[in-house]
Amino acid sequence: MKHALEPGPQALLELVKQATPPEAEIVSLAWAFEDEDYNIAVVMPDTIDRLTARQIEDRLIDAVLDWDAAHHTFTLCKVWQQHEMTRAGVL
């Protein structure tokens, strides 16, 4: 069941932005899948392939794990294609 979240702190959003390509749009989502404190979407063009998306997510895991360890939080950060976010009504 999804529950409401506070927006991700600006410093966390900047950290995510630094770990992503320039064309990425960083969106702090207002809902959670499980028990995370923050849910951040990295929205990429529909032309991104699965391998590239996975590589971006790998970089994000390292950055977000360090943030979470330092702040005692749990952050979900996932790469989405533009059409997925549009279809979900997020963008």
Segment 2-52, tens digit of pLDDT: 556 778 899 999 999 999 999 999 999 888 878 899 999 999 999 999 899
Domain around 10 = 3-81
What CATH number does the domain containing 22 carry?
3.30.300.90
Domain count for the chain = 1
Neighbours of 25 (CB within 10 A): 15
Residue 83: per-residue pLDDT:
86
Is 91 within the bounds of a domain?
no
The two three-digit tokens of residue 80, written as one number:
């989405």
What's the pTM?
A: 0.84
Is 88 within the bounds of a domain?
no
Is 73 within the bounds of a domain?
yes
How confident is the model over 8-21, as pLDDT tens digits?
Answer: 899 999 999 999 99
Residue 52: per-residue pLDDT:
92
Give the pLDDT band (50/70/90) at residue 91: low
Is 86 within the bounds of a domain?
no
Is 48 within the bounds of a domain?
yes
Is 14 within the bounds of a domain?
yes
Is 90 within the bounds of a domain?
no
